[in-house]
Amino acid sequence: MNNTKVEEILLQSEALLTGHFLLTSGRHSAQYMQCAKIQQHPFHMEAIAKIVAAGFAEDKPEYVLAPAVGAIVFGYELARQLNAKAIFAERADGKMTLRRGFELPANARVVIAEDVTTTGLTVLEVLDIAKVNNATVLGVGLIVDRSQGKINLGTKIVAAHSKNVPSYAPDDCPLCKEGIPLVKPGSRQQSDFTAQKKP
């Protein structure tokens, strides 16, 4: 499955949205990847996870660690494809941490799973968890890499889809200058968004 086919899945599932969005990184963008829309379709999720799993098959990972909540389903399916354990990190007092009895043994071979990344800030937080536990990080698996390969996380990156989606600092955002209302994804009904359809 190539980049075009994955984008077709994004469009079919209405995961690729257009508008004026506040990203997790604090930057603004005219497009937003609502990957939760893909993850409601097990068939699509399996196909995407297989692409990413192929990039780690020879690494023999023992764990897949995902940040809650957006990447939990993807992390689980990726772990299933890799025959590894699926665990997730979540925020406690503003900091990503392992809870619910989840543990990473020292020297455990781990892949970090994330749905979509632009600046990699959340991924770096999860990578820190692996490092604190002295785990061996094999790489990062992504559904969508919005940086189109420009991001450097200090480890291997395997993305099912790579797309160059411009993002802007709030003070330099052309959408703000046009007066287009800013939306933080999840703060309005899905029907308020305009889903980008295939031409």
Number of structural domains (the chain) is 1
Q: What is the pLDDT of residues 102-155, one digit of tens each?
A: 999 999 999 999 998 878 899 999 999 999 999 999 999 999 998 877 888 999
Q: Find the domain containing 51 and state its range.
A: 3-195
54-58, 148-152, 160-164, 185-189: the lowest-pLDDT one: 185-189
DSSP 65-130: EEETTTTHHHHHHHHHHHT-EEEEEEEETTEEEE-TT----TT-EEEEEEEEESS-HHHHHHHHHH
pLDDT at 95 over 50: yes
Q: What is the largest distance, in Å, between two alpha-carbon atoms of the chain? A: 52
Evaluate the CA torsion angle 160, 166, 170, 176 in order and state its sign: negative
Mean pLDDT over all residues of the chain? 88
**Which CATH number covers residue 50?**
3.40.50.2020
CA atoms of 64 and 33, how far apart (whole Å): 22
Taking only the tens place, the pLDDT of each residue in 52-72 is 999 999 999 999 999 999 899
Work out the average pLDDT over 84-95. 94
pLDDT over threshold 50, residue 176: yes
Backbone dihedral region for residue 122 (phi beyond 0: left; psi -120 to 50: alpha; all else: beta): alpha
Q: How would residue 186 be classed by pLDDT, with cut points 50, 70 and 90?
A: low
Helices (H) and strands (E) in the chain, counts: 5, 10
Question: In angstroms, what CA-CA distances link 112 with 22, 43, 70, 90, 169?
Answer: 24, 22, 13, 13, 27
